[in-house]
Amino acid sequence: MFDMPSTLILAGRDRVKFTVQTDKQAVIGLSESTLGESNMYKIVIRTEPNKKSEVERCETRGPDGFQCESWIPPVNTTGVLDPSQPRGFWIEWGITPATRGLIKVGELGSTPFMNRTTPDPSPIAIIYLGYATGPSCGESTWNFCGEFYCLLVLRFCR
C-alpha cells in the first residue's frame, strides 16, 4: 500500500497543473479508486538522490502490496525541484478508451520531459490523484489550481 494521504477527485478531467516546493522528490498517483487500494500510474519527479524522474504502472498484488513496472523510462531531471521556491508542473492523460495510459509530464510553460505514446492494453481509469513527498524530506508545499478548484497544502514529512 502506498501512503498518499492527500487526494483530489479528477473524474472527467484529462490534466492537472500544480506547483510543489520540496527538497528531494514529489510523488503523484493517478488511480481509479482511493489511492493505496487500486491499480495506479505513479509519477515520481526527483531531484535527489538519483536525479531521475519516471512513471510506473502499479498493480495491487494482494497482501504483498503493489508490483510496479516502468511505464515511462527514467529521465534526468537535475534541479527540477527546489526547497526554497515552488516549481510548476503539468500532467496530461488520455480519457478515451483508445488513449488511456497515454501520459505526459512537463514543467509549466514547457514541452513534456516524460511522454508515454503507447496506449495501455489494460487501462486504468483516472479518477483520483494522490500526492506525497519523498522520504526524509523537510517541509513541502503543494498548490493545485484548475478550472474549478484551487487547493494549497503545506505538509511536513513524518
Is 70 exceeded by the pLDDT of residue 3? no
- Our count of domains for the chain comes to 1
By the 8 A CB rule, do 137 and 130 touch? no
From residue 11, alpha-carbon distances to 60, 94, 154 in Å are 21, 12, 24
Condensed to tens digits (0 to 9), the pLDDT of residues 29-79 reads 998 887 566 789 999 998 766 789 999 999 887 776 778 899 999 999 988
Range scoring the smallest mean pLDDT among 10-24, 67-81, 108-122: 10-24
By the 8 A CB rule, do 35 and 12 touch? no
Q: What is the pLDDT of residue 105?
A: 97
150 falls within a domain = yes
Mean pLDDT of 128-147: 75
55 falls within a domain = yes
What's 17's domain CATH number? Answer: 2.60.120
45 falls within a domain = yes
100 falls within a domain = no
60 falls within a domain = yes
101 falls within a domain = no
96 falls within a domain = no
Cell numbers at 62, concatenated? 494482494
110 falls within a domain = no
Supply the range of the domain harboring residue 64: 6-88+124-156
DSSP, res 11: T
